[in-house]
Amino acid sequence: MGAITGTIPLALASFFLGLLLALLVALLRLSRNPVLAAVARIYVSVIRGTPLLVQLFVIFYGLPSVGITIDPWPSAIIAFSLNVGGYAAEIIRAAILSVPKGQWEAGHTIGMSRRQSLVRIILPQAARVSVPPLSNTFISLVKDTSLASLILVTELFRQAQQVAAFSQEFMLLYLEAAVIYWIICLVLAGGQSALEKRLDRYVAH
């Protein structure tokens, strides 16, 4: 139950919000504006350089002391999105850079603006390259959502804790939780393979 009402929506919402953020941050890092690029670089550095649990606690337990109180669920989504945003930004940036410069030039010569080339020529190719590492991020995220139990979000792990405390069946319940996490990740890995196959249709094998 905790998986369906807690873990899965939490992971999905955080991943897609994080992905949007990551795309924005990746583009800022690649922009010619040095200030924007620096802001993006600092953001990525902070996110990658601090523990996720600390980020979560700062948002949920820390912000109230400066007058900002956010409920457990939004706190969790904000923290996980910011976290995914930092990691995925680097993946997307690398994927964009992996597309040969000649593709930008071909876009230019057929009359495209940089934005048009980015959207129609570069990003579709970058997407193919970034599916495996982004899937990794997604799978990590699913497991990391268990940390939300520590800020009172009733997701899969917190529910297991609650039931275990009541029934004293610790081994059984924690193993059950582990199996459910594993199943979710297996499904995700399956989705990854299908997506990779689809995006690989235009490359030589």
Partner 1 sequence: MSPTEPPLPDAGALLTVRGLRKAFGRHEVLKSIDMDVTRGEVVTLIGPSGSGKTTVLRCLNGLEIPDAGIVEFSGELSIDFSKPVSKKQLAALRDRSAMVFQHYNLFPHKTVLENVIEGPVQVQKRPKAEAIREARELLARVGLADKENSYPFELSGGQQQRVGIVRALALRPQLLLFDEPTSALDPELVGDVLTVIKELADEGWTMVVVTHELAFARQVADEVIFMDGGVVVERGHPDTVLRAPREERTRQFVDRLLNPF
Q: Does 203 bind partner 1 (CB under 8 A)?
A: yes
196, two tokens: 């990779």
Q: Which of 109, 115, 171, 197 binds partner 1 (CB under 8 A)?
A: 109
Q: Determine the Cα–Cα distance for residues 158 and 146; give it in Å rounded to an integer.
A: 7
Complex with partner 1: residue 74 or 100, whichever CB lies closer: 100
Distances (CA, A) of 74 to 24, 59, 181: 21, 10, 22
**Distance in angstroms (rounded) separating the CA atoms of residues 30 and 126:** 14
Contacts (CB under 8 A) with partner 1, residues 122-161: 124-125, 128
| Category of 83 on φ-ψ map: left (φ > 0), alpha (ψ -120 to 50) or beta | alpha
Q: Which of 32, 65, 115, 202 binds partner 1 (CB under 8 A)?
A: 202
Q: Which stretch binds partner 1 (CB under 8 A): 2-10, 80-88, 114-122, 175-183?
A: 114-122
- CB of residue 199 to partner 1, shortest distance in Å: 8
Q: Binding residue for partner 1 (CB under 8 A) from 33, 98, 103, 193?
A: 103
